[in-house]
Amino acid sequence: MTRFAAPIAEQIWDMKYRFKQADGTPIDQTVEDSWRRIARDLASVEADPAAWEEKFYSALEDFKYLPAGRITAGAGTARRVTLFNCFVMGTIPDSMGGIFDMLKEAALTMQQGGGIGYDFSTIRPRGAAVSGVAADASGPLSFMDVWDAMCRTIMSAGSRRGAMMATMRCDHPDIEDFISAKSDPARLRMFNMSVLVTDPFMEAVKEDGPWELTFGGKVYHTVQARDLWNRIMRATYDYAEPGVIFIDRINAMNNLSYCETISATNPCGEQPLPPYGACLLGSVNLARLVSDPFDEGAALDEAALGELVATAVRMMDNVVDTSNFPLPQQAEEARNKRRIGLGVTGLADALLMMGLRYGSDEAAQQTERWLHAIARAAYLASVQLAKEKGAFPLFDAEAFLASGAMQQMDEDVRDAIRSHGIRNALLTSIAPTGTISLYAGNVSSGIEPVFAYAYTRKVLQKDGSRTEEEVVDYAVQMWRDKFGDAELPDHFVNAQTLDPADHVRMQAAAQKWVDSSISKTINCPADIGFDAFKDVYMQAWDLGCKGCTTYRPNEVTGSVLSVSETADAAPGEDADAPQAVDGGDVIYMSEPLDRPQTLEGSTYKLKWPDSEHAIYLTINDIVINGHRRPFEVFINSKNMEHFAWTVALTRMISAVFRRGGDVSFVVEELKAVFDPRGGAWVQGKYIPSILAAIGGVIERHMIATGFLAGEGMGLKTDPQAQVVNLDAPRGKACPSCGQYDMVMIEGCMTCRSCGHSKCG
């Protein structure tokens, strides 16, 4: 018997979380081995490791507690990776040397697998004087371009690209350039971007008052606050960015407001963190805790929930002691405050099982009750840990209890903290759970509604053939198992059919008992009016949210796979009832293609100016179903200074090619790399770096073999990525598996087929 509720769950485990040797040979033979590996590692710091290993294993068993992906993949492997998901880097100094020191720290952090956040408000605006060099400053946006280029070249641990968040204060003189930066689709693609919105600014917006843009005590411009707000709203209406972070509210509610100031978040926004702040994430799977689903007596077992939360808090606290950290400042910050971010997933499925419509007042009230129970259990568990192991080093009882969040906490919890201290400064956060929700059997993600009840995906077999499988939401599958083909009840709703106000209501209900923040996307219909769209953000502000992220499908952001409400109904079916998605013909390869004994290929000579030795590229192709596609690359040079990176590039590109799908993104990524020392003119064309030149050679080969239609263009035909229903709405192509299945989930573009996430 397999523990996996769906084939996609096992495939996600095998691809992302299963411990394997360097050659791909599995070390974890079963998912039970993975649970055992994690439990043993996190129990290793306990006084009685054997006893706690069993308790930890029980929490992990059957996907009840889901540590974030970096813990699941890295714990117990002895690999030099961080188990922490999120980092906010140090404050960027307003000097050239300081800026590039921060760039180096960012690269080292992403190399170990951490997503990072930066506040670029500390860099002087474009045009400001630079003393001593008789020059004007280029401004923070120019340095963000440098960060963006660096991130393109860094592959995070586990072959995950680095993810970054950039923030800027609403009173910075360059804020208007920051707001419009994503209108250029080729710029700052490695960043999520959010504006730090202050309380005075929101008051000025409501009053239609003036707003000063300042830096270093100097007023550079004065604008109308409402005009600036409208510019933010128009940009996110058109381009889905920037997001909005209510930064004063975050700092006022922060348990640690007495010893830190927050000005940035991690890439998905659910972890506001101070300079060098780090946080690890994990989620309780509410869908596994509902008894008698769909019956009148359906209920979530709150006793089991409390016990599970207490065990999860202990496991996460132990991660602080077992994890590596990219930088010593991050280790010191984490151990001084012992921040953790325990959240939930499967919320929408749990509500469905209990007969509640997501977004309704009843569902919001139930969500608030569950999150309150989780917060109580987490804080009381952390108090018990403090009694046993000591409070976090910077704990100050009266200052801690005087914070905005703690003032609303139950009095018995406050008394316990006052008497015994608390082990973890902050405990709760709603993390993005797109991949781990698939791993747990396609439960609904985080506190999001169910995105689609079912969709079809194509699985590419090693022989080039394709099989089709249905991916069904966890609660919907339970309904089918219990009631067969009976029509889904009216309370079954999805992300696209919900009113945006329903999304905001649920976010606000959860936020009341979450001490950090929430990763949540408010899906808006494509035809929502601009004024109605702005009202969504104002509602989020009025209801006490700490931020707001929306997604409105359009020609720029891409449409999304959605539940069809216009599909022709089969006899006896309600045409208005939710239908399964019929346009998600998705390819997912769980294993690389085998290499035939002979391959067709070509060798190209690349002579880079000022280099003594040429570089030779050999590109070999495989033929599948009569179509030729790249399979492997060899890059060679007599220049020994090139040896390490050419070997690394050979291995990485070949590994990507052997996974199949639309691999043309390799060309795009290489051609975008620029050398800060300058590029070169080659055959009358400026090439920004030697890596970009290699990308150009690969592109020409792909065009010559018919894989690409032309320079700068996508696939001419992709025999492995045919979309069955070309008229159906579809997302953008996934850069990992090549399929049109990218959707906005929890503030991040995520592939519903392979779990690839833009946010890492």
Highest-scoring range by mean pLDDT, 76-80, 214-218, 635-639, 703-707: 214-218
DSSP 628-687: EEEEEEEEEES-GGGHHHHHHHHHHHHHHHTT-S--THHHHHHHT---TT--EEETTEEE
Q: Which of 136-150, 340-354, 369-383 has the lowest mean pLDDT?
A: 136-150
Highest-scoring range by mean pLDDT, 94-103, 170-179, 595-604, 605-614: 170-179
Are 510 and 544 spatial neighbours (Cβ–Cβ below 8 Å)?
A: no
Structure token digits, residue 626: 């009569």
pTM: 0.78
What is the rounded CA–CA span in Å between residue 706 and residue 31?
41
pLDDT value at 358 more than 80: yes
Q: Which of 50-59, 431-440, 559-568, 727-736 has the lowest mean pLDDT?
A: 559-568
pLDDT at 17: 93
pLDDT at 573: 34
pLDDT at 554: 77
What is the rounded CA–CA span in Å between residue 78 and residue 43?
15
pLDDT at 724: 29
pLDDT value at 261 more than 60: yes
Q: Which of 326-340, 413-427, 542-556 has the lowest mean pLDDT?
A: 542-556
Paired with 164 in beta bridges are 116, 191
pLDDT at 216: 94
pLDDT at 232: 98
What is the rounded CA–CA span in Å between residue 645 and residue 315?
38
Active site residues: 266, 268, 270
pLDDT at 452: 86
What is the rounded CA–CA span in Å between residue 24 and residue 26?
6
Q: What is the DSSP letter of 409?
A: S
pLDDT value at 651 more than 50: yes
Tell me which of 2.60.40, 3.30.390, 3.40.50, 1.10.10 is the CATH number of domain 600-704: 3.30.390
746 pLDDT band (50/70/90 cuts)?
low
The length of the chain in residues reads 760
Q: In sequence order, which residues have a C-beta less than 8 Å from that of residue 626 and are 6 or more positions away?
A: 719
pLDDT tens for 80-125 read 888 987 899 999 999 999 999 999 999 888 877 678 999 999 999 9
- For the chain, residues classed under CATH 3.30.390 are 600-704
What is the rounded CA–CA span in Å between residue 189 and residue 664?
17
pLDDT tens for 383-422 read 999 999 999 999 999 999 999 999 999 999 999 999 999 9
Give alpha helix (H) positions in 240-346. Answer: 247-253, 302-322, 328-337
pLDDT value at 213 more than 70: yes
Pick the closest to residue 525 from 554, 503, 564 (CA basis): 554
Mean pLDDT of all residues belonging to the chain: 86
pLDDT value at 156 more than 60: no
Are 145 and 192 spatial neighbours (Cβ–Cβ below 8 Å)?
A: no
Q: In sequence order, which residues have a C-beta less than 8 Å from that of residue 490 and are 6 or more positions away?
A: 357
Sheet with strand 466-472: strands edge to edge: 466-472, 454-460, 587-588
Q: Which of 259-268, 316-325, 529-538, 652-661 has the lowest mean pLDDT?
A: 652-661
What is the rounded CA–CA span in Å between residue 9 and residue 381?
31
